[in-house]
Structure 1
Amino acid sequence: MTALPISKRYYTLVGTILCQFGLGSVYTWSLFNEGLSSKLSEPLTQVALTFGLLSLALAVGSSLSGRLQEKFGLRTVAITAGLALGLGLYLTSTASNLTLLYIYGGILVGAADGTGYLLTLSNCVKWFPERKGLASAFSIGAYGLGSLGFKYLNLELISRFGMESAFGIWAIAALALVVGGALLISEAPQARGHAVSAGTKDYTLAEAVRQPRYWLLALMFLAVCMSGLYLIGVAKDVGERYVGLSASVAADTVAIIAAANLLGRLVLGILSDKIARIHIISIALACALVGMALLLFVPLNEYSFFFAVACVAFSFGGTITVYPGLVSDFFGLANLARNYGLIYLGFGIGSVIGSIVSFALGGFLPTFYLSLLLLFASLLCSISLWPSLSHRTTTVTAH
C-alpha cells in the first residue's frame, strides 16, 4: 500500500476540525427563537419550524454532497458551503416575515451545513485508513464542540449587540472557520474498500428496500432524529415555558445538549466496536425513551429537566454515529452511501414532522407524546432484529 503524504493528511485533519466546529454552530439555533418570534410577531411554534426545515435541508444536502464532489471537487464544494452558510445566517437577520425566515435560516443554512458536514467528514476518514475511528472521533467531536463553543459566543453576542447583530457576527465566524478549514483540506486518494465479515451480502438499494428490516431501520432512525432534533431546536423555550426556568438557566440547556450529544457519539461509537451495533441502538432507543417519559410524566425542576434532555441528546448523538455501520451490517459496505442515504432522509423528515405536529396541535406536548410512541415501537423493532445478525461485523463509520 502506497504511503499517504503525511503533511496533506494532517493539514486535512486540522482543516476538517475547523470546518466541523463552524458547521456544528447551527445547533445553537434555539437561542434565537424567542427573539425571532418577537421581531416577526409570530407564534414561537411557527418560528421553531425553521430548525425543522434546516434539519431537512441538512439531510438533503448531505445526501447530495458526494455527487457535488464528483462534479466540482471537494475543496470547491466545501468553500461554497462555507460561503452559503455565512450568507444564510446573515440573511436570516434581515428576514421580515416567516417565508423569508424559512428560506434563509431553514433551507439555505441547512443545505450549506449538510453539504459541508458529510463531505469533509467522510474525506477525513479516507485519509486515515488505519485509524478511521480516531479520525471520526476528532471530526465528530469538533462538530459537537462547535455547538458548545458557539452557545457561549452567541449568548454573549445577543446580550451585547442584540439578535440581528449577533446573527451577522455568527455568520462571519462560521464562514471564516469553514472556508479557512476548507483551504487546508486535500481530497483523499481513492481508497480501497474494506471487506465486511464473511456472510454479509452486498445489497443494492433496489434489493435493500424490498427487505422489511430496511424499513424497520428507517423507522428507528426517524424516531430518534425526530425526538432529538425537535428538542434541540426548542430546548431553551421548553425550559422557560414548560418547566418555568429563568432565561439564563434555560439557556444552559444548549450546553447540556451539546455535551450529551458529544458524549453519546464517543461512548456509543466506541462501544459499537465491542458490542453488536443493533444492541447499541437498542440502548440508545431506551435512553431516549427514558428522557421523553421524564419530560411527560415527572414533575420537572432544573436538574430533572437537564437529565431528561441529556438522555435524548445522548441517544441522538450515539445513533447518528453508529447507524452507517449498522446499515452496512445488514446490507453490506459496497452500496452503503446509497442504502444509508435514503434512511438518512429521516434526519430531516423526523424534525419537520415534530415541528408540524407542534404547530398544528399547539405546543410541545403533542410532539413529545408522538416521540414517546415512536421510540417505544422502535425499541421493539430493534429487539426483533437482534437474531438477524448472528455474527459481529466490522466496517467503516461514515458519519
Structure 2
Amino acid sequence: MSFLDRQHTIAPAGYSRWLIPPAALAIHLCIGQVYATSVYKNSLVAHFDASLTAIGVIFSIAIVMLGVSAAILGTWVEKVGPRKAMFTSACFWAAGFLVGALGISTTQLWLVYIGYGFLGGIGLGIGYISPVSTLIKWFPDRPGLATGMAIMGFGGGALVASPVSRQLMALYDPTYDPADSGAIASGSAVAMLFVTLGVVYFLVMMLGVFNVRTPAPGWKPDHWDPRTVKPKSLVTTANVSAANATKTPQFWLLWIVLFCNVTAGIGILEQASPMIQDFFREGGTSLVVGSTAAGFVALLSLFNMAGRFVWSSTSDYTGRKPIYMIYLGVGIVLYLLLSTVGASSTLLFVVLAAIILSFYGGGFATIPAYLRDLFGTYQVGAIHGRLLTAWSAAGIAGPLIINGFLDARGTPGELVAADYRPALFTMVGVLAVGFIANLLVRPVSERFHEPTRPEPEPEKQEVAK
C-alpha cells in the first residue's frame, strides 16, 4: 500500500495540472449523493414504520460527522497527502452504504445511523477536504476556479444520484414508479440500492485515488510569477497554521458567514419539493404535480452545482469579501421577495429559489479560497476542515428552523405559501448576521504568521501546463 504515501504522489516532469480536477470530481460526485437522500426517505419511513424526523436523523448525523471528521482529521489529511486521504474516504463512504444496507435488511434503524450516518459521515468529511488544498496548490493563480472545480462535483452529486437511484429502485422493485416522486419502494429494494451505490462509488473514487498528484516543491504555473501579482489587502503571502487560525477573529467571522449562508440555503434545499407544491395550493389542492416538483428539485440541484463553479470563479476577479456581500446581501432581498410575492407566479418562484441555491453552492466553493487568501496555503486544508463545523451546525439549525415553523403552522400536505413566511423571514435575519460578519473581516495580524522559511527552488523539469 506504499503507493498511497505522499512521496509517491509528487507529479513527474510534464504532468498537466488539468488532470487533477477530474480526480477531485471523482470524489465529490460520489459523496455529493448525500443531497439525494430524499429520494428514498419516504420508503425508509414506510419500511421502518418510523417518523420523518427519525429518518431525517440519518442525514443529520452524516452532516455532523462531516464537520467533526473534517475538523479532527484535517491536519492528518495535510500530513499524509491527498491519495491516502481519498482512499480512506472511499473506504468509509462505501462501508457506510454496506452497513446501512444491513440495517435496512434486518430492520435495525440504529445500524443505518451507524452505517450511512456515522461511518459514511466520516467518509464525507475526509473526502470533502482532501482534494481542495491540493487543487489550491496546483492553481495558485486561480484559487477560486480551483475550489469551484472540486466542490462543483459535490453539488452535482445529487443531480446524478437522484435519477439513477430511482431507476435502480424500479429495477429491484417492479411496483415502484420512478416517475412518481411520492412512490414507495420496498425495503429490500432500498437495501439493494445501498449495496449497489456502495460498490459503484468505491470503484469511481478509486479513479480519483490513482490519478491525484501533488506539485513538486517550488513548482509554479508556466508564465506566472507571484511577485508580479498586484497586492490585495485581504490576500496574504504569509502562512498561518491551523492551530493559530482558530485563535484569530477572522476564522470565527468566516465560521459565522458560512453558517448563515448554509442555514439559509439548506432550508429551501430540504423542503424544495413540498415547498413549490404548497406555494401554489388552492382550495386544498396543489396546482403543481409531483413530477413537476421533482423537476424543480433537479433544477435547483443544477443551479447549486453551477453556482459553485461560476460564483467561485468570479471571486478571482471580484475578491472573496465582495462576492460574499452579494451572496448574503442579495440573498436577503431574494428571500424577502420569495416570502412576499413568490406565490404570485410559478416562474418567479423558480427563478428566486434557483438564484438562492446558486448562492448557497457558491458560498461553499468560495470559502476555501477565502481561507487561502487570509491564512495562506500552509495548512489550508486543515483550516477548511475546522471551518466545516459551521456546516454541521447549519445542517441541524436549517431544517430545525423551517420544520419547527411548519409543524406549528399545520399539517404537511395542507400548508400554503403564508405558512412559510415566518421561516423565510427568520432566514432573512440569519443572512443579515452573516452579512455583518463578512463586513468585519480584516487581514490577519502578523503575530499569527508562521516564521518565514526560504522558498525551495523549483526543480529543473518541464513546467506543468
- What TM-score results when the alignment is normalised by the length of structure 1? 0.81
Pick one of 293, 296, 316 that aligns with 1:253: 296
How far has the Cα of 1:20 moved from its partner? Answer: 2.5
Give the counterpart letter for 1:250 in structure 2. A
Distance 1:307 1:41, change over 3 A: farther
What is the CA distance between 1:351 and its match in structure 2? 0.8
**Structure 2: stretches of 5+ with no match in the other structure:** 1-9, 173-184, 221-225, 281-285, 408-418, 444-465
3-state DSSP class of the match of 2:110? Answer: helix
Q: 1:3 to 1:268 in 2, by over 3 A?
A: same
Name the structure 1 match of 2:429: 373
Counterpart amino acid of residue 274 in structure 1 = Y
Contact 2:86-2:127 at 8 Å conserved across structures: yes
SS in 2 for 1:6: coil
Deviation, structure 1 residue 112 = 0.5
Once the 2 structures are TM-superposed, how far is the Cα of residue 59 of structure 1 from its aligned partner?
2.1
Q: Which runs of 5+ in 1 are unaligned?
A: 390-399
CA distance in 1, matches of 2:326, 2:351: 16
For residues 351 and 370 of structure 2, the distance between their equivalents in structure 1, rounded to whole angstroms, comes to 27
Residue 35 of structure 1 and its aligned partner are, at CA, apart by 1.8
Deviation at 1:280, TM superposition (A): 0.8
Query: Counterpart in 2 of 1:104?
Result: 115
Moved more, 191-200 or 207-216: 191-200
Per the TM alignment, residue 331 of structure 1 is displaced from its structure 2 partner at its CA by 5.0
Per-residue deviation, residues 172-210 of structure 1 (Å, max 9, x unmatched): 322221123212323443467978937657566676556
Q: Deviations over 1:134-166 (max 9, x none)?
A: 544443333333332222212322344345133
Q: Measure, in 2, the Cα distance between the counterparts of 1:216 and 1:47.
A: 33
Question: Does 2:58 match 1:14?
Answer: no
Q: Distance in 2 between matches of 1:207 and 1:10?
A: 32
Residue 213 of structure 2 is matched in structure 1 by 186
Q: Partner residue of 2:256?
A: 219
Larger mean Cα displacement after TM superposition, 346-355 or 84-93: 84-93
CA displacement at 1:321 relative to structure 2: 1.9
Q: Which structure 2 residues correspond to residues 225-236 of structure 1 after superposition, within 5 A?
A: 225-236=262-273
Q: 1:76-87 alignment to 2 at 5 Å?
A: 76-87=84-95
Q: Name the counterpart of 2:168.
A: 157
Distance 1:217 1:70, change over 3 A: closer
The one of 329, 332, 350 aligned to 1:306: 350
Identical positions, percent = 22
Q: Give the C-alpha shift of residue 283 in structure 1.
A: 0.5
* Shift of residue 223, structure 1, vs aligned partner: 0.8
CA radius of gyration, larger in:
2
Partner of residue 393, structure 2: 349
Q: Distance in 2 between matches of 1:88 and 1:101?
A: 8
Report what 1:89 is aligned to.
Answer: 97
How many angstroms apart in 2 are the aligned matches of 1:277 and 1:26?
A: 27
Q: How many residues align?
A: 386
- Partners in 2 of 1:65 and 1:188 — Cα distance? 22
Given that 1:53 and 1:352 are in contact with CA atoms closer than 8 Å, whether structure 2 keeps it comes out as no
| Structure 2 CA distance for partners of 1:128 and 1:180, relative to 1, 3 Å | same
Superposed displacement of residue 222, structure 1: 0.3
Distance 2:363 2:381 in 1: 17
Residue 215 of structure 1, CA deviation: 3.3
Aligned alpha-carbon RMSD (Å): 3.5
Q: Is the 8 A contact 2:33 2:157 kept in 1?
A: yes
Amino acid at match of 1:87: A
Q: Which residue of 1 aligns with 2:34?
A: 26
Q: Secondary structure at the match of 2:37?
A: helix
1:40-189 correspondence runs (5 A): 40-69=48-77, 73-93=81-101, 94-95=103-104, 96=107, 98-129=109-140, 132=143, 134-161=145-172, 162=185, 163-164=189-190, 165-189=192-216
Q: Which has the higher helix share?
A: 1
Q: Distance in 2 between matches of 1:354 and 1:214?
A: 21
Q: Is the 8 A contact 1:45 1:359 kept in 2?
A: no
- 248-257 or 357-366, which deviates more: 357-366
- Structure 1 window deviating more from structure 2 (70-79 vs 356-365): it is 356-365
